[in-house]
Structure formats: structure tokens, C-alpha cells
């Protein structure tokens, strides 16, 4: 099969940078504001929220590997349907595996699980990074983005469940931090998701702005 | 023309590989999923009428209804379980509608649901809110069920068909 001349491989990059950039500095959810629909929908519970982050991360990893291995052979004219087919395959496989081995998580995530197919991050990393890079950087990119996703989903789930119920459920363990009477159920409801996400994004933006202005002063 | 054939063949190859991968995983997971659903079905059927000692399955041509199960304690009928399936917003919704011999709905047990996770799931989460929400309906008679969404409208219609069958049966 002939190689696709339209795809130019990206210049060699610092692998540490490729891995680290997605964790905090370009966190897909809290900085780039992608994947907002699932994080608002499923983050009312810490375990489910982390589960969603991990499943999305596995899909990104699978897709990045497949695209980086086959990217040179994918004709430019049909790269989008090919990438979508690979993503849809990965998502369907993850859905079947979750349904079989983690049925509670599958039931809790509901429609948000198949909707990973249309998640901007998955397509963005596949088309924007893996298609132009070799296998190792693509794997590192997927791992960094996955850690960033799990951090964001975990943080949202933790804050919402803690404030909304006064406890954190860790599978069989139920850690009660404060009495349920003092919990504010608003935080586990849809409005609470917007409030918590807004506050977290606000804090991160403030830190970024103050850091940038300090660097400007020093320069 | 040659280009179009080349692109079609490439896309066909990708789809073919995807199909093989999906078929392999489906073969692996389908028996596990089916077994789990059988267990859930048996648990929910028992939860519908805990005092039931046996169940009789009745054939039906009622719309939306997959099966009607008569729950009995000895020779006394306790009620009927309508296993129904409707097309919801996201996917099919399968549930058990439990009607006692007086014609009251005793329970509504979900068997399969892919709708957006809502207020009622998981129960532990809504420790305070859900109890307050649910408690207002305890020991009360509900005169009307409104159907305002894509999912609830066919459920209400299916329940009406279940009642038509129930009254004919009674």
C-alpha cells in the first residue's frame, strides 16, 4: 500500500513535554474546555466520574496507537471517515467490555458512554496529533491527556459528591466526611455541576493570569 | 475512477477490520451480559412480589409488552408483572410494570435503560434530596401520570395498554 504524501510528520518533539503538556498546562477539560458535556453529566459521583475519565482515556490511547501506525497509509480525502470508524470501534468495544465486566458503571454512565464517539478530545488528538506523529509520541500524548482527563473528572466528582452528600463513596467504602444534614444537594444536581466547574476553571485561569503577569514583570 | 475505487477499497478494508474486532469482542462479552441480565430479571421478578412462590408466564399480543408474568402464592394470584419495552430518547427502555389484583401499580422496575442518568441514580447519592422527593409520594394515590418527554410518552402509552390487558384478564 502506498504511503500518503499529504501527511507530513511533525518535527521531532521533546517527549517529556509531549507527555506533560496535557496534564495541567493544556488540560483538556479545565484549560481547553473540551469534554464539558460528559463532565457536567456524570461528575455527580467520584467513582463514576473517574471511570468516565479512564474509559475516555483508553479510547484516546487505542485511537492514537491505531492512527499513528496507519496514518501514513490513510488517504487524505477519507481521513475523517477512517478516523471516525476507528474511534467508533474503540468506543463500542469499551462499551461492550464495561457492560460485561463493570455493569454498575455502565448503567451509571448511560448514554454518555456511546457519546464518547463525538468527544472533541478523542478526534482532536487523533487528527491533530497522532496522524502527524510516530507511535511513541502518540502513546505519550494519549497518556498525558488521559491523566489530565482523570484529574479533571476526579476533581469535579470529588468536590460535587463531597459538598452534595458529605461523603465520598470509594466502591465498597463510604467515607463520611461530615453529616448529611450539612450537605448541599444542589451540588449533585445539574446546576451544581456548572457552579463547581465555573469555580475550578476560574481558579485555574486566575493562577495562569497571575503567573503570566509575574513573568512579564520579571522580563 | 481509479482513485475512487482505491478510496472505496481502503474504507472497506478499515470497516472490515473494525467489524472483525467488534465481532470478536461481542463473542467474548455477549454471554456474560446475557447471564447478568437473566440474573437481574430473576431478582426483579422476585422483588416485584417477594411473597410469590411461583410464576406463570402468559403469552400476549398487547403492544409494547414482551411477556406477562402472573405471580402466585400457592393458588392465589398476587398480581401481574408486565415486561414492557419502549423506544426512548437514547435507546430502548425495558422495565417491569407490577400491578396487584386491586389494579394498583405496586412497582416499576427497570431492566435496561440508557437514558441520561437522572435524579434517581445512584440512590445513595441523593441521600437527602431523593428521600424528600420520594417521600412525598408514599401512601398517596396518583391520579394522573403526565408524559412530557420523548421517553415518558411511550411509557405512559405502554402502561395504558397494560391496563387494557389487565382489565380484560381480570
| Contact state of B18 with A185 under an 8 Å Cβ cutoff | no
**Can you give the pTM of this predicted structure?**
0.80
Low-confidence ranges of chain B (pLDDT < 70): 116-148
- Per-residue confidence (pLDDT) for residue B147, from 0 to 100: 59
- As for how many domains chain A has, the answer is 1
Q: Which H/E stretch holds residue A167?
A: strand A167-170
Which stretch, A12-26, A141-155, B56-70, B115-129, has highest mean pLDDT?
A141-155
- A99: pLDDT strictly greater than 90: yes
| Contact state of B117 with A42 under an 8 Å Cβ cutoff | yes
Confidence of residue A174 (pLDDT cuts 50, 70, 90): confident
Cβ contacts below 8 Å, chain A against chain B, sum to 96
Q: What residue numbers bound the domain in which A153 lies?
A: 5-218
- Per-residue confidence (pLDDT) for residue B120, from 0 to 100: 40
Q: What is the mean pLDDT of chain A?
A: 89
With b for 16 or more beta-carbon neighbours within 10 A and e for fewer, the B45-70 pattern comes to beebbeebeebeeeebebebbeebbb
Burial of B142 (0-12, 13-18, 19+ CB in 10 A): exposed
Q: Is the ipTM of this complex over 0.90?
A: no
- Per-residue confidence (pLDDT) for residue A1, from 0 to 100: 47
| Contact state of A100 with B32 under an 8 Å Cβ cutoff | yes
**Gap from B20 CA to chain A (nearest CA, Å):** 10
Higher pLDDT, A100 or A185: A100
- Per-residue confidence (pLDDT) for residue A17, from 0 to 100: 87
- Per-residue confidence (pLDDT) for residue A63, from 0 to 100: 95
Amino acid at each position: 500500500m502506498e504511503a500518503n504524501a499529504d501527511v507530513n510528520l511533525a518535527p521531532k518533539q521533546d517527549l517529556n513535554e509531549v507527555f506533560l503538556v496535557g496534564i495541567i498546562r493544556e488540560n483538556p477539560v479545565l484549560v481547553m474546555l473540551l469534554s464539558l458535556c460528559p463532565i457536567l453529566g456524570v461528575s455527580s459521583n467520584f467513582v463514576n466520574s473517574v471511570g468516565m475519565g479512564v474509559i475516555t482515556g483508553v479510547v484516546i490511547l487505542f485511537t492514537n496507537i491505531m492512527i499513528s501506525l496507519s496514518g501514513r497509509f490513510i488517504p487524505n480525502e477519507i481521513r475523517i471517515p477512517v478516523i471516525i470508524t476507528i474511534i467508533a470501534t474503540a468506543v463500542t468495544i469499551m462499551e461492550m467490555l464495561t457492560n460485561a465486566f463493570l455493569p454498575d458503571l455502565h448503567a451509571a454512565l448511560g448514554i454518555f458512554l456511546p457519546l464518547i464517539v463525538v468527544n472533541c478530545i478523542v478526534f482532536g488528538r487523533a487528527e491533530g496529533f497522532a496522524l502527524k506523529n510516530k507511535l511513541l509520541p502518540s502513546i505519550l500524548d494519549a497518556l498525558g491527556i488521559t491523566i489530565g482527563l482523570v484529574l479533571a473528572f476526579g476533581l469535579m466528582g470529588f468536590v460535587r459528591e463531597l459538598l452534595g452528600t458529605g461523603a465520598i463513596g470509594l466502591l465498597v467504602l463510604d467515607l463520611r466526611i461530615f453529616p448529611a444534614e450539612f450537605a448541599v444537594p444542589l451540588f449533585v444536581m445539574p446546576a451544581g455541576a456548572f457552579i463547581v466547574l465555573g469555580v475550578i476553571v476560574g481558579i485555574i485561569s486566575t493562577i495562569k493570569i497571575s503567573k503570566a503577569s509575574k513573568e512579564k514583570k520579571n522580563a | 475512477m481509479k482513485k475512487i475505487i482505491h478510496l472505496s477499497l481502503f474504507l472497506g478494508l478499515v470497516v472490515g477490520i473494525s467489524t472483525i474486532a467488534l465481532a470478536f469482542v461481542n463473542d467474548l462479552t455477549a454471554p456474560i451480559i446475557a447471564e447478568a441480565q437473566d440474573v437481574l430479571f430473576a431478582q426483579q421478578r422476585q422483588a416485584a412480589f417477594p411473597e410469590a412462590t411461583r410464576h406463570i408466564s402468559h403469552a400476549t399480543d398487547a403492544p409494547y409488552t414482551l411477556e406477562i408474568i402472573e405471580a402466585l402464592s400457592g393458588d392465589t394470584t398476587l398480581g401481574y408483572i408486565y415486561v414492557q419495552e419502549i423506544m426512548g430518547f437514547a435507546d430502548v427502555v425495558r422495565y417491569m410494570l407490577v400491578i396487584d389484583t386491586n389494579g394498583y401499580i405496586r412497582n416499576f422496575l427497570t431492566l435496561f435503560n440508557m437514558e441520561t442518568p437522572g435524579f434517581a441514580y445512584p440512590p445513595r447519592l441523593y441521600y437527602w434530596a431523593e428521600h424528600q422527593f420520594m417521600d412525598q409520594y408514599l401512601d398517596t394515590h396518583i391520579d394522573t401520570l403526565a408524559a412530557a418527554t420523548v421517553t415518558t410518552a411511550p411509557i405512559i402509552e405502554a402502561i395504558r395498554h397494560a391496563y387494557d390487558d389487565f382489565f380484560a384478564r381480570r
